[in-house]
A = this chain, B = another copy of it.
Amino acid sequence: MNKKKNETDIYTPTECKKFILPVRDVIDIVGGKWRLPIIIALSFKIHRFKELERQIEGITPRMLSKELKELETNGLVNRKVFDTIPASIEYSLTDYGKSLDKVIETMREWGLSHRNKIINE
């Protein structure tokens, strides 16, 4: 009776796994508690460090600094230094960072409908 193992698994042995892979990549790049919030803030406008700190509720400068570096490394965020004294630094989205807009918008819609769902129950 439990013999059917191969029979059931054969349905989508590679197809399902293949489907998961690119989504895993996305999770690696923009997963975690802070990265999407940062990206969203930057999609509104260029921000300086302290501005981001204020827009993203609850984030500590340590986390913000860490995540900005990661996002820069992955080519999503641009860091521009102005040699005023003291230096002012602007963070902006690269084109590649901007290309997440669809993902963010889809997630936002789902999130909103979830809120509505909770409220209407």
- A114 near B25 with CB under 8 A, answer yes
**In the complex, which residues of chain B have a beta carbon less than 8 angstroms from the beta carbon of A107?**
22-23, 26, 103, 106
A104 at the interface (CB under 8 A from B): yes
A24 at the interface (CB under 8 A from B): yes
Q: What is the bound-complex CA distance between A117 and B26, given in angstroms?
A: 13
**Contact surface of A with B, Cβ cutoff 8 Å:** 1, 8-9, 11-12, 15-17, 19-27, 29, 31-33, 36-37, 40-41, 44-45, 48, 51, 54-57, 84, 96, 99-100, 102-104, 106-115, 117
**In the complex, which residues of chain B have a beta carbon less than 8 angstroms from the beta carbon of A8?**
48, 51
Which secondary structure dominates chain A's binding surface? helix
27 contacts between A and B (CB under 8 A): A8-B48, A8-B51, A9-B54, A11-B44, A16-B55, A17-B57, A19-B40, A19-B44, A20-B40, A20-B41, A22-B107, A23-B36, A23-B40, A24-B37, A25-B114, A26-B107, A26-B108, A26-B111, A31-B31, A96-B117, A99-B110, A100-B110, A102-B106, A102-B110, A103-B107, A103-B110, A106-B107
